[in-house]
Structure 1
Amino acid sequence: MTNPTVIQTSLDPEEGAAGAGRRPSIAARIGAMGQNRIGALLLLGTTLAAIIWANVSLGSYQTFWQTHLMVGIGDLHLDFTLHALVNDALMAVFFFTVGLEVRREFAIGELTSWSRALVPVAAAIAGLVVPALLFVLIARGSGNEQAWGAVISSDTAFLVGALALIGPRVPGRLRVFLLALAVVDDIGALSIIALVYTEHFTPLPLLIAAAGLAGVYFTRYLPSGRGPVYASLAIVVWLAFLASGVHPTLAGVAIALLVPVYRPNRSDVERALELARTFRQSPNTEYARAAANSLRESISINERLQSAYAPYVAYVILPLFALANAGVVLNPEVLAGAAGSTLTWGVVVGLVVGKLLGVFGSSAVLRRLKIGELGAGLTLDRVLGGAAVCGIGFTISLFIVDLAIDDELAQNEARVGVLAASVVAFVLATIIFRISDAVRPDDDSGQTLARPVDPARDHVLGNPYAPYTIVEYGDFQCGFCLKASGSILEVRDVLGDRLRYVWRHAPLVQIHPNALAAAEATEAAAAQGGFFDFARALFDDQDNQRPSDIIRIADDLGLDLERFEKDLISAEVTGRVRDDMLDAEAMNITAVPTLFINGRRHSGPYDARSLLRALTNATDTPVV
């Protein structure tokens, strides 16, 4: 009999040295929460610094940011203030990273499947429209109704950072939902900046920009030296946007949407591995460079650029933007004026109430109508907290205030509204998340299968509608999962069609380097009806699950290799595995194998006799 201390679903600290069942939270794979948290705190710190600076010495604050910089040769020169340099040049890099994320989500991310994307897309659209309508209703007659764009967009950086700071105990599914929503939100905000807040339009430079963008697209076909070409063309496109009157930050988005994104190709990965082995056998500079270049090229330039620029955006660009734009005077006279200003209240109500009603209301209606899917663990109380966080509209709100309002006093009132709305939204979201966590009983957390078995979606071995069910969350490189699956098959020999066995993925990505690839390979095999055959082949050889081994297994099983390799890098396969991992996180699964017997979590040994006993206890009916 298997030692119970080894197979406990909540792993015992004294587990064996191999640590085969231990893994960190799945949320760690979905996002770099530490960087988001630090970035949000740094953004908050520079915001406070700007406010203090402006209130201690408004003159020096304004004088500093109005300092002129001139760059050029002879008659060709650019004249910028420091403020414009931050808002027009550095923020183009920020919008470039936003564009990269948009491109990725539509190519291989959460927005590839319409059924998967329906709820966050609808929530984002409602979150754009409702705040704008509320703002116009409240600010009507103030003369600043045109500034409605200041309340439409959530601040993605603050949103993700706030979720890391104050989010619920299990934020993974909510974070994916909010990031998908934020992508659509950003598209709406960028479109409005281009269409509504472009005052002086000169079409001719856009022809130069179009030629530059065409060059960006075709640069992907260069055999080498693409980096300098991308950089040179990006500067040309940015200058052309600047000359056209279209806000130059949109050049960053246009360029990003043309940068290629793809899942790593098996042949590229194999070539990188071969070069790395060659370097290991004959270490020299030439082989080292070739191996490094091959490894780098196996990852799409979109993802490489996101990784490269993310720290600069989080730690430099956004904090500088806050320092240059958040300097609001907060003396009693200004606060009194803002308190009585319909512009200020329009911003506050638009962001806090509008986002809450738009995002939460649309999600609740779609759920009520059973249209779209929120996913296991993402209940409406979680969505309510996420909708409250969306009321933090800091970066783009301040950005549009600067574009839409000319009067300095009105700008000040609008900025007070943005800051006040961000604080209120943060506090409101904190309260909602704390209440949401408090009302969830700890003793039942994760004890019930979060997503019921769906024969049309799940991988079911046996009668899909059998009276007894065992669901296993596992990892194809985990030795304990091999033993558990063997025991379950023994139980099937006893019960026959009265038992259905369901496999769901929970790969130990920090322990088993090939586990995620193995899980995705079984999903690619499932498209040809070979899920359990492929899974058994993986269990039979747990030490050899590299890309070449995966292709060999597919060939041995007689699968269509061309279709298999195409499915292997598809967004659908990635999404299936990720959904299971998010479900596992929602149920606080911290070890594998984790078994659910007739929908309830199983604790204890998982040999065949123990499982038969557990099935009897689950139904109060002898199973044999």
Structure 2
Amino acid sequence: MAIRNVITCGLEPIDQVLMPFQHFFKSKSTGGIILIISAVVALIWANSTWAASYFSLWETKFTVGYGELALSKPLLLWVNDGLMAMFFFVVGLEIKREFMVGELSTRRQAVLPIFAAIGGMVVPAGIYAIFNINGVGAHGWGIPMATDIAFALGILALLGDRVPYQLKIFLTAVAIVDDIGAVLVIALFYTSEIAGMMLLLAAALLVVAYIGNKAGIRTPVFYAIIGLIVWVAVLKSGVHSTVAGVLMAFTIPARTTCDAEAFTTNASNLLKEYESAITPGSSVLTNSTMHSALLSMQRIATRAQTPLQRLEHGMAPLVDYLIMPIFALANAGVALGGSMAGAVDTSMISVGVALGLFLGKPIGIVLAVILLVRISGGWPGGMTLRHFIGAGLLGGIGFTMSLFIAALAFEDQAMLNAAKASILAASTLAGVAGYLVLKSLPLPEDS
């Protein structure tokens, strides 16, 4: 619960100017808006007179390290293998939090979104397979399975109070389960040959991080160093390196070292100490007692939080406003209308991806919900079938994860371009359709 009626400290003129921008960047729809802008920029750039510079940029080799320890990859792979590992790390933190205290923490809460997410993964993959099971695009069955939560929640935010809060929670939980499924699919089905020693090294380091967690090590530097080595080991093992991000997230401590009672007592005592040290004309720069009390309050406030909370809160803006837009800029550029002479037939890839996302997602999610509603005997939270149809359509916004899996599935550029174009088209249609369905619902009586 938010603390209200707090006396605010004086704002500088620059703070007053920047406040609207700060509120903008805190809104739920911002991440989706920035992703859209990045994707549009990539599409325009890739189909402009400067298209050659777009494609050559992401093919530019970038080397880190020296000699045998050097990693040399095109810039596109640094984005997809490196930056996206940080994205998956934050996803892992969200998954861990949801299972510990969130919407997946109890069986009753978890059943509906888990079954809906499974339906929303199986049906799209099945639809894709119907069109491609014996074709050149058979390996792309995982592409239409994912949901882009940033876009989906961004659209829900635009609908405001017309959408019940329970539906937002449901869609978030579905997307979290979707992410778990995507990670498993990537690890099990989009992995090259396995280098056993590297995999064993990664596993050993994860055990070290887990032991550090249990031993009470809470400094982010410890986990950052181990995480970097785990990422390199997983990258060298043949398993996709982004899996390292999720696995490392599970080792991050989720316990406080200062419970609520101890925090309240200590904070009260420190506030009294700070207040008693105040003298007319005094400044924290010259009053050592005030300064000491402030530092002590900062320490106990940090100990009252969990490292998982601090990392998730601190890294989410980096992921939402930098990493994902860079990923979209690097991956959404598709040369439209180019000559396909001599290329493989990609029509079934396009059909499979488009129908999987636009039809398969809502059909799978809604059928799973209807089945559970019939078993349980009522719609949850006062919601109706139309609410879940709208949510199912928003689940068809694949974008980030779908583009990511497409890049893993296809090395052939024509096949990859066909998949990307269908992802962008189907995600746009699903987003618009989901918005219109939910927009047509009557406002709640208490709004």
Residues 340/70 of structure 1: CA separation in 2 closer, same or farther (3 Å cut): closer
Structure 1: give runs of 5+ residues left out of the alignment.
Answer: 1-17, 19-31, 447-586, 589-624
Instruction: Work out which of the residue numbers 322, 332, 352 in structure 1 matches 2:328.
Output: 322
Per-residue CA shift, 1:397-456, capped at 9, x if unaligned?
11011111111101111111100111110111122112223xx5xxxx43xxxxxxxxxx
1:307-386 matched pairs, under 5 angstroms: 307-331=313-337, 333=339, 341-370=347-376, 375-386=380-391
Q: Structure 1 residue 351: deviation in Å? A: 0.7
Q: Structure 1 residue 330: deviation in Å? A: 1.5
Instruction: Tell me: higher relative CO, structure 1 or 2? Use CA pairs within 8 A at least 6 residues apart.
Output: 2
Q: Structure 1 residue 376: deviation in Å? A: 2.2
Instruction: Give the structure 2 partner of residue 278 of structure 1.
Output: 273
Amino acid across the alignment from 1:113: T
Instruction: Give the structure 1 partner of residue 129 of structure 2.
Output: 136
* Identity percentage of aligned residues: 37
Q: Structure 1 residue 163: deviation in Å? A: 1.5
Is 2:426 aligned against 1:421? Answer: yes
Is 2:226 aligned against 1:233? Answer: yes
Per-residue CA shift, 1:492-522, capped at 9, x if unaligned?
xxxxxxxxxxxxxxxxxxxxxxxxxxxxxxx
Is 2:43 aligned against 1:38? Answer: no
Residues 249/340 of structure 1: CA separation in 2 closer, same or farther (3 Å cut): closer
Q: Structure 1 residue 160: deviation in Å? A: 1.4
Amino acid across the alignment from 2:367: G
Normalising by structure 2, we get a TM-score of 0.86
> In the alignment, is the contact (CA less than 8 A) between 1:122 and 1:363 conserved in 2?
yes
CA distance in 1, matches of 2:272, 2:201: 46
Per-residue CA shift, 1:524-547, capped at 9, x if unaligned?
xxxxxxxxxxxxxxxxxxxxxxxx
CA distance in 2, matches of 1:281, 1:222: 38
Q: Structure 1 residue 36: deviation in Å? A: 2.3
> In the alignment, is the contact (CA less than 8 A) between 1:209 and 1:241 conserved in 2?
yes
1:422-571 matched pairs, under 5 angstroms: 422-437=427-442, 445-446=444-445
CA distance in 2, matches of 1:279, 1:220: 34
* Secondary structure of 2:27's aligned partner: helix
Amino acid across the alignment from 1:331: G
CA distance in 2, matches of 1:402, 1:419: 14
CA distance in 2, matches of 1:413, 1:74: 38
Per-residue CA shift, 1:228-254, capped at 9, x if unaligned?
111111111111111111111111100
Q: Structure 1 residue 331: deviation in Å? A: 2.1
* Secondary structure of 2:70's aligned partner: strand
> In the alignment, is the contact (CA less than 8 A) between 1:153 and 1:186 conserved in 2?
yes
CA distance in 1, matches of 2:46, 2:75: 16
Amino acid across the alignment from 2:394: V
* Secondary structure of 1:369's aligned partner: helix
> In the alignment, is the contact (CA less than 8 A) between 1:338 and 1:416 conserved in 2?
no
Amino acid across the alignment from 1:403: L
CA distance in 2, matches of 1:332, 1:224: 55
Q: Structure 1 residue 159: deviation in Å? A: 1.6
Amino acid across the alignment from 1:214: V
Q: Structure 1 residue 285: deviation in Å? A: 3.6
CA distance in 1, matches of 2:81, 2:302: 31
Q: Provide the aligned C-alpha RMSD in A.
A: 2.4
Q: Structure 1 residue 129: deviation in Å? A: 0.4
Runs of 4+ in 1 over 4 A off after TM superposition: 221-225, 337-340
> In the alignment, is the contact (CA less than 8 A) between 1:107 and 1:262 conserved in 2?
no
> In the alignment, is the contact (CA less than 8 A) between 1:389 and 1:426 conserved in 2?
yes
User: Comparing both structures, which one devotes a greater share of its residues to helix?
Assistant: 2
Instruction: Give the structure 1 partner of residue 281 of structure 2.
Output: none
Instruction: Give the structure 2 partner of residue 548 of structure 1.
Output: none
Amino acid across the alignment from 1:434: K
Instruction: Give the structure 1 partner of residue 173 of structure 2.
Output: 180
Residues 343/256 of structure 1: CA separation in 2 closer, same or farther (3 Å cut): same
Normalising by structure 1, we get a TM-score of 0.62
CA distance in 1, matches of 2:74, 2:59: 5
Instruction: Give the structure 2 partner of residue 214 of structure 1.
Output: 207
> In the alignment, is the contact (CA less than 8 A) between 2:399 and 2:424 conserved in 1?
yes
CA distance in 1, matches of 2:299, 2:198: 36
CA distance in 2, matches of 1:138, 1:194: 24
CA distance in 2, matches of 1:248, 1:389: 28
> In the alignment, is the contact (CA less than 8 A) between 1:120 and 1:177 conserved in 2?
yes
Rg larger for: 1
* Secondary structure of 1:376's aligned partner: helix
Residues 289/320 of structure 1: CA separation in 2 closer, same or farther (3 Å cut): same
Is 2:208 aligned against 1:203? Answer: no
> In the alignment, is the contact (CA less than 8 A) between 1:220 and 1:226 conserved in 2?
no
Amino acid across the alignment from 2:203: A
Per-residue CA shift, 1:291-326, capped at 9, x if unaligned?
202101211111111110111111000000000000
CA distance in 1, matches of 2:171, 2:57: 37
Per-residue CA shift, 1:559-592, capped at 9, x if unaligned?
xxxxxxxxxxxxxxxxxxxxxxxxxxxx43xxxx
* Secondary structure of 2:136's aligned partner: coil
Residues 286/180 of structure 1: CA separation in 2 closer, same or farther (3 Å cut): same
Q: Structure 1 residue 379: deviation in Å? A: 2.1
Amino acid across the alignment from 1:199: S
> In the alignment, is the contact (CA less than 8 A) between 2:223 and 2:252 conserved in 1?
no
Instruction: Give the structure 2 partner of residue 394 of structure 1.
Output: 399
Residues 143/328 of structure 1: CA separation in 2 closer, same or farther (3 Å cut): same
Is 2:259 aligned against 1:265? Answer: yes
* Secondary structure of 2:423's aligned partner: helix
* Secondary structure of 1:135's aligned partner: helix
Amino acid across the alignment from 2:206: L
Structure 2: give runs of 5+ residues left out of the alignment.
Answer: 6-23, 278-288
CA distance in 2, matches of 1:377, 1:338: 50
Q: Structure 1 residue 332: deviation in Å? A: 6.5
Residues 279/82 of structure 1: CA separation in 2 closer, same or farther (3 Å cut): farther
Per-residue CA shift, 1:32-88, capped at 9, x if unaligned?
995321111110000000001111133211110111111113432111221111101
